[in-house]
Chain A
Amino acid sequence: IAGITQAPTSQILAAGRRMTLRCTQDMRHNAMYWYRQDLGLGLRLIHYSNTAGTTGKGEVPDGYSVSRANTDDFPLTLASAVPSQTSVYFCASSDYAESPLHFGNGTRLTVT
């Protein structure tokens, strides 16, 4: 089934550790996005990529980095996790700039 796969589904991480959240799509979509969702704050854009080889900063990029080496993969890295990064992380993709986003099932991350 075509779609977006995120891994892991959930993770408990000690503060200070490095963590990479994986995101892979098989729809050949050009644009990909990382959002975090926190209660009462909604979805906030962390980083995005309009096409392979390019990335951009969203609303809350600090503490996160991304890469887009190819069309399908868009990993999100936390270099040194902090408790405030406890959240549900959603990866999404869209075919072109005007089309709706398709979301993965999310990664629930707890930083202790």
Chain B
Amino acid sequence: GQNIDQPTEMTATEGAIVQINCTYQTSGFNGLFWYQQHAGEAPTFLSYNVLDGLEEKGRFSSFLSRSKGYSYLLLKELQMKDSASYLCAVRDGDYKLSFGAGTTVTVRA
């Protein structure tokens, strides 16, 4: 199977920046996704990286280094509504999507 690691929990203050790291080892690679999941809800798509570099989308940015098997999700200008679980997911050579266990981010006032 795939091996996808991300921190279990992170806490940050409203207005601050938080970086969630994700490392992976997969058989083949066809893209890395970040999803947001609020408690009791379905995951929703945030970002997609398939080439090395930074993808920016509003307050959220995602970075990928394929050679290092590494990605991060950067959340800027944190808001209380950003308190959620953030899931790193990697699509392997067979196009199956495997998820990390998720990082729970708590935003404090």
Binding site for B on A (CB under 8 A): 31, 33, 35, 40-45, 48, 50, 56, 58-59, 90, 97-98, 100-106
Contacts and interface: CB of A to CB of B under 8 A. Distances in A.
A104 B41 CA distance: 9
Interface residues of B, number: 22
A5 B57 CA distance: 28
Interface of B: 1, 30-31, 33, 41-45, 48, 50, 87, 89, 91, 95-102
A41 to B, nearest CB: 6
Contacts, number: 49
Contacts of A101: 33, 43, 45, 97
Chain A CB count within 10 A is highest, among B42, B48, B95, for: B42
A50 B48 CA distance: 20
24 contacts: A33-B97, A35-B99, A40-B101, A41-B101, A42-B99, A43-B89, A44-B99, A48-B96, A50-B95, A56-B96, A58-B96, A90-B43, A97-B30, A98-B30, A98-B31, A98-B91, A100-B33, A100-B48, A101-B45, A102-B45, A103-B42, A105-B41, A105-B42, A106-B42
